[in-house]
Amino acid sequence: MRIESVRKGASGTATIAVGGSSFFINLDTLSDLGLGAHRLEPGNELDETEIALLALAAEAREAEKRALALLARAEQSSFLLRCKLEQRGFSSRASSIAIENLSASLLLDDTRFARAYAASRLAHRGSRAEGPASLIRALRERGIDHSTATEVITELLGVETEPEARERALEAAAAKALKRSGGDRDEAKRFLRQLGYKSEEIGAYFER
């Protein structure tokens, strides 16, 4: 198919008309996919592979636009954002390109998401008891790697780094554990250990 027109826009974008269809793309994305600027001249004939790359670049640009709307509402992890994009019909490859672009521009950051998510869970516990292990588990379920999850929770609830925050979290978790166990201290202690609190700090709390 022959390129009919190329209209360059802001921020490295372009609208390319080919065979009656228009593709709004990011030029850097298209170049990364292997279709260089020298091929994007009106009158050039593009083969099926090149048309497919144009379509992928256009899809990735639309996926990035949708991802930005989701990020404007709340922090996202790369994993959760990918799932949401694919649920909305974007291909895995287009979603990956969008996520790579957003990560490179620091608009998407798994560590930042992990901090915000863990802090929110601690601030809005409701009836749920929280501890280091439960928070790390929750982050892992949202696609955060173990190293990042552990680092973030250590910052928030580390015995050495945030003793007061950890003590407050333990106190809240202990109250819920006692309620859950019907006042059985041994059962409450077992539950707190499952949440990631250390036996010595649990013992010290109950000896007050």
| Single pTM value for the model | 0.85
Report helix angle 199-206 to 185-194, nearest 10: 150
Q: Give the residue from 104, 135, 167 where a domain finishes.
A: 104
Six-digit token string for 85: 């994009």
Q: Are residues 89 and 125 in the same domain?
A: no
Rounded Cα distance, 18 and 51, in Å = 8
Q: Are residues 93 and 145 in the same domain?
A: no
Stretch 76-88: mean pLDDT, rounded?
97
Percent above pLDDT 70 for the chain: 99
Q: Are residues 81 and 168 in the same domain?
A: no
For residue 141, what pLDDT band results from cuts at 50, 70 and 90?
Answer: very high
Q: Are residues 167 and 199 in the same domain?
A: yes
Q: Give the residue from 104, 132, 156 where a domain finishes.
A: 104
Q: Are residues 114 and 99 in the same domain?
A: no
In the chain, what is the straight-line distance between the N-terminal and C-terminal CA atoms, in Å? 79
What is the total count of domains within the chain? 2
Residues 56-69 have pLDDT tens digits of 999 999 999 999 99
Q: Are residues 86 and 160 in the same domain?
A: no
Q: Give the residue from 87, 104, 121 where a domain finishes.
A: 104
Structure confidence at residue 125 (pLDDT): 63
Q: Are residues 32 and 93 in the same domain?
A: yes
String of DSSP letters for 27-63: HHHHHHTT--GGG-STT-B--HHHHHHHHHHHHHHHH
pLDDT at 75 exceeding the cut of 80 = yes
- What range defines the domain where residue 143 resides? 110-206
